[in-house]
A and B are shown apart, each in its own frame.
Chain A
Amino acid sequence: MLYDVTIDGKNHRLELTRAGGRWSCRLDGRDLEIDAVLARPDVLSLRIGDMAYEVKSERVGDDLHLWVGSTRFAAEVRDPRSLRGRSRSADDHGPRKITAPMPGKVVRLLVREGESVELGAGLAVVEAMKMQNEIKSPKKGTVQKVLVGEGATVNAGDVLAIVE
C-alpha cells in the first residue's frame, strides 16, 4: 500500500506491505524495520527498530490527529492513486465554510445573508458550558449563506455560514 501522509504540514511518502504476518515499511525512501499491534481501537503499539511507541488515533469530524506519547500531530493520509481525499486547501479567494469549533448552542447571529464582513468580524455567538464564543470571519467578503438559526444546537464541524 502506498500512502501520502502529511504530518503537521510536512509531506511524507509511505510504503507499507504485509507478508507472512510481517510489515515492511519504506518512509521517504528509507527502509524501516517495524512491528505493529493494534492493542485496542485507536491505540497502536508500534516498534521501529528496537524503540517502542504507543500511538493514539483521534478523529473528530474530518480532522485526524495522532498522539505519539503526549505529542499531538495533525495527520492526513491519502492514497496517491486515488482522486479522493485531496487536501482541502485554505483558499482565500473561494467561498469559505464557517464551522462550529465545538458543540453548543447558537445564541446570536451577528450577520445576515448578503452582508459584507471584514476579516475577523464576528459572525455568530456559540455558547457551551456557560461560556460564549464568538465565531469570527476568516476572510473579508460577503456572507453568502447563513445555515443556522438563533437557538439552534450545533455539533463540532457543523457549517454555520458561508463567506464568499
Chain B
Amino acid sequence: MFNKILIANRGEIAVRVLRACHEMGIAAVVVYSDVDRAALHVRKADEAYPIGQATAAESYLNIPKILDVARRSGADAIHPGYGFLSENAKFAQACADAGVKFIGPSAAAMNAMGSKTRARQAMDRAGVPFVPGTSRGVESFEEAEQVAARVGYPVMLKAAAGGGGKGMRLVHAPEHLKSSLEAARSEAERAFADSEVYIEKAIVNPRHIEMQVLADEHGNAVYLGERECSLQRRHQKVLEEAPSPIVDPDMRRRMGEVAVRVAEAAAYTNAGTVEFLVDQEKNFYFLEMNTRLQVEHPVTELITGLDLVHLQIRIAAGEKLPFKQEDIKLRGHAIECRIYAEDPDNNYFPSPGRITLLLAPSGPGIRRDSGMYEGWNVPIDYDPLLAKLIGYGTDRDQAIARLTRALGEYFVGGIKTNIALFRRILRDEDFRAAKLDTGFLDRMLQRAEDKRIDSRAAEVAAVAAGLFAALGSTAQGLAAQEAPDSTTGGGSKQPSNGPGSNWKNASRREALR
C-alpha cells in the first residue's frame, strides 16, 4: 500500500480524497495555487505545497510543477480527482514515466476513450449500442447532409474532443445544418484546438443514465449500478440519483454488462463511468466513458455500501477487486444536490465572495461533501461547485423527504447559492413522480415560480430587523474585528445598523433619551 498520496486537485473533491487517505493511514500531500492558501484542502492536509498563480495552467494544470511536488514530497501515487488533469493521458503517462502511480486508468486506456470517435470505433467492435450516426468526424458539408438525411432530423453535431456541452449543436432542419456545422467546428477549434465534429441522431427528451464500473489490474471488472443524471442545465449536471427510477433489475444487468464490455474493450482499469442516453422506450445508447471518479460518486457509495476512493487506491496499489459481481447488492435510494456558488436571480451567474455565515445540515440519512467553510473567500478563478449534499433513504420518497428537510437547515450567507433551486425541484410534482429527462430543468425554470407572499414571515422579518439593529447583528465582542468605526456621525451613507457598531450606537441612543 502507498505511504503518501499527492492530491492534484482542490475544493470538495480534494477534501474527499484526503479523508480517504487518512482513513487508510496514508499521508496526504496537497498542492494549492496563490488564491487557495486558505482553502479547506490545505487546512486538512499533512503536507501542502504552493504551485503558483491562480490561473489553472500555472498551477492545477501544470504537469511539471505537480510532478516536482511528487518528487520533493516523496509521494508514491497521485490522485487527480475530477476535472483538471484527471482525464489527461499525457499526465497519466508523465506520472508513469516519473515512477509515481497515477490513481486511474492507463494513458493508453484514456487515449482510447478520450476521443469520442476513436472510442466509438473500439466500441463498435465490442457490440456496444450506439445512437445512429457517424463513428468519425464528417469531412465535408455534403457528407454531413447525407448522414443527417440517413439518420433523420433532428440531429446533434458534437465536437469529437468535446465535453461540457462545448461544440454541441442541435439541428432541427436541413436549412440550418450548414451554419450549425460551421459554428460547432469553430467552437470546437477554439475550445479544444480540434475542429473534428461528428453527427448523431438527436434523441428527443432523453434520459441521461450512467453506469459505474470498477476494474482491477488483474482482468476483473464489475458494475456498481447506475445513476440517473437527467437533471441538467447548460449540459451540466445539477442533481443525480441512484438507482434510476426507471431501471429495473433486467435493464440494469443489460446496461451493466455493456458497460463492462466497454471497459474491457479499452483494457480499462480503476474507476470509470459509462454514460448512456435512454430514449422514451428505454432503449439505451452508449454516449461516452468518463475515465475518472465522478462528482456524483457518493450516490453509488450510499446504495452499494462501498467506498469508491478506497477502492481506487487499493486497485492502484495492485490489489484485486475484493468482491464479485454477484456480491454487489443495491440498497435504498440516494439523491445528490450540487451546491454551486451562483445567483438564481442573475441567470445562475457565478457568485464568488466571502462566506459570512454557514449553517450546515446533519441528521439521519444526510451526507455532505464540502470544500467551504465560514469566513472563507470563494475565489473567482475556479468552478463554482462548493459542496454536495446527499440524502439517503430506504426508498426514493424517504430520500426526498430527508433531503428537503436538510436543505431547510442549510444556510450559506454572504454569497448566492442554488440551494433554493433544489427545494423547488424536490417539491415539483413531475420530479416526485420521477418523470425526468434532460429538458426537465429548463422547462421547470421557464415556468414562473409560484411565490406566495407570506405576510406572517414578513412580519417576523420586520421584528427581527429591529432586534438585529438593537442587539448588533453580530454578537457583542465577537464582532469587534469586523466593525467599521461608524462614530463619524451624519453624512455617512452607512445605514445606522452597520455591523458591530450597533450595540454601541444603541446604548448611546438609549443614554441620550
Q: Are A and B physically bound partners?
A: yes
Stretch among B43-51, B145-153, B331-339, B350-358 lining the A interface:
B350-358
In the complex, A40 Cα to B474 Cα: how many Å?
8
1/0 contact trace for A15-49 toward B, CB 8 Å? 01010000101010000101010101111101010
In the complex, A67 Cα to B420 Cα: how many Å?
12
Partner of A77, one of B359, B383, B465, B492: B465
Restricting to A128-159, which residues have a CB under 8 Å from any CB of B?
A: 128-131, 133, 153, 155-156
1/0 contact trace for B449-471 toward A, CB 8 Å? 00001100111111111111111
Q: Is the CB of B496 within 8 A of A27?
A: no
Q: Is the CB of B463 within 8 A of A14?
A: yes
| A77/B457 contact (C-beta < 8 A), A44-B468, A57-B473, A69-B408 known | no
Q: Is the CB of A129 within 8 A of B384?
A: yes
Nearest chain-A residue to B491 (Cβ)? A84
A-B contact pairs, 14 of them (CB 8 A): A5-B465, A14-B466, A38-B471, A41-B478, A42-B474, A46-B467, A68-B461, A70-B407, A84-B495, A84-B496, A102-B353, A103-B353, A130-B382, A133-B349
Q: Does A75 contact B (CB under 8 A)?
A: yes
CB-CB < 8 A to B250: which residues of A?
A: none
Partner of A129, one of B382, B407, B468: B382
CB-CB < 8 A to B461: which residues of A?
A: 7, 55, 66, 68, 73, 75
In the complex, A32 Cα to B464 Cα: how many Å?
12
Residue numbers of B with Cβ under 8 A of A are: 341, 343, 346, 349-353, 356-357, 359, 380-384, 407-408, 411, 413-414, 416, 420, 423, 453-454, 457-471, 473-475, 478-479, 490-497, 499, 506, 509-510
Q: Is the CB of B496 within 8 A of A82?
A: yes
Q: Is the CB of B350 within 8 A of A131?
A: yes
Q: Is the CB of B510 within 8 A of A69?
A: no
Chain A min CB distance to B460 (Å): 5
Q: Is the CB of B458 within 8 A of A102?
A: no
Q: Is the CB of B473 within 8 A of A41?
A: yes
Q: Is the CB of B414 within 8 A of A58?
A: yes
Chain A min CB distance to B409 (Å): 10
Q: Is the CB of A27 within 8 A of B495?
A: no
CB-CB < 8 A to A101: which residues of B?
A: 343, 346, 349
Q: Does A79 contact B (CB under 8 A)?
A: yes
Q: Is the CB of B352 within 8 A of A84?
A: no
CB-CB < 8 A to B343: which residues of A?
A: 101-102
Q: Does A83 contact B (CB under 8 A)?
A: yes
CB-CB < 8 A to A66: which residues of B?
A: 461, 464-465, 468
Q: Is the CB of B464 within 8 A of A129?
A: no
Q: Does A64 contact B (CB under 8 A)?
A: yes
CB-CB < 8 A to B499: which residues of A?
A: 59
In the complex, A64 Cα to B383 Cα: how many Å?
27
CB-CB < 8 A to A96: which residues of B?
A: none
| A68/B457 contact (C-beta < 8 A), A7-B462, A79-B509, A83-B490 known | yes
Chain B min CB distance to A110 (Å): 17
Q: Is the CB of B492 within 8 A of A84?
A: yes
Chain B min CB distance to A20 (Å): 15
In the complex, A95 Cα to B174 Cα: how many Å?
50
| A71/B509 contact (C-beta < 8 A), A58-B413, A101-B343 known | no
Q: Does A108 contact B (CB under 8 A)?
A: no
In the complex, A20 Cα to B333 Cα: how many Å?
53
CB-CB < 8 A to B380: which residues of A?
A: 103-105, 127-129, 153
Q: Does A91 contact B (CB under 8 A)?
A: no
Q: Is the CB of B408 within 8 A of A60?
A: no
Q: Does A10 contact B (CB under 8 A)?
A: yes
In the complex, A148 Cα to B473 Cα: how many Å?
32
CB-CB < 8 A to A36: which residues of B?
A: 464, 467, 471
Q: Does A50 contact B (CB under 8 A)?
A: no
CB-CB < 8 A to B457: which residues of A?
A: 68-69, 71, 73
Q: Is the CB of A56 within 8 A of B359?
A: yes
In the complex, A69 Cα to B465 Cα: how many Å?
14
Q: Is the CB of B458 within 8 A of A73?
A: yes
In the complex, A146 Cα to B252 Cα: how many Å?
60
In the complex, A55 Cα to B407 Cα: how many Å?
16
CB-CB < 8 A to B478: which residues of A?
A: 41
In the complex, A64 Cα to B270 Cα: how many Å?
49
- Taking A14-B463, A103-B380 as known contacts, 11 extra A-B pairs with beta carbons closer than 8 A to each other, sorted by chain A number, are A1-B470, A10-B458, A36-B471, A43-B357, A56-B359, A66-B465, A70-B407, A77-B469, A102-B416, A129-B341, A133-B349
Q: Is the CB of A46 within 8 A of B464?
A: yes
1/0 contact trace for A74-97 toward B, CB 8 Å? 011111001111001000000000
Nearest chain-A residue to B451 (Cβ)? A71
Partner of B495, one of A64, A68, A71: A64
Q: Is the CB of A56 within 8 A of B510?
A: no
In the complex, A103 Cα to B384 Cα: how many Å?
13
Chain B min CB distance to A153 (Å): 8
Chain B min CB distance to A42 (Å): 5
Q: Is the CB of A68 within 8 A of B464?
A: yes
Q: Is the CB of A1 within 8 A of B510?
A: yes
CB-CB < 8 A to A67: which residues of B?
A: 411, 413
Partner of A16, one of B351, B381, B470, B496: B470
Q: Is the CB of A41 within 8 A of B474?
A: yes
In the complex, A71 Cα to B455 Cα: how many Å?
11
In the complex, A128 Cα to B444 Cα: how many Å?
26
In the complex, A133 Cα to B357 Cα: how many Å?
26
CB-CB < 8 A to A42: which residues of B?
A: 356-357, 413, 473-474
Chain B min CB distance to A53 (Å): 5
CB-CB < 8 A to A129: which residues of B?
A: 341, 350, 352, 380-384
Q: Does A112 contact B (CB under 8 A)?
A: no
In the complex, A76 Cα to B498 Cα: how many Å?
11
Closest 3 CB pairs of A and B: A129-B350, A41-B474, A85-B495
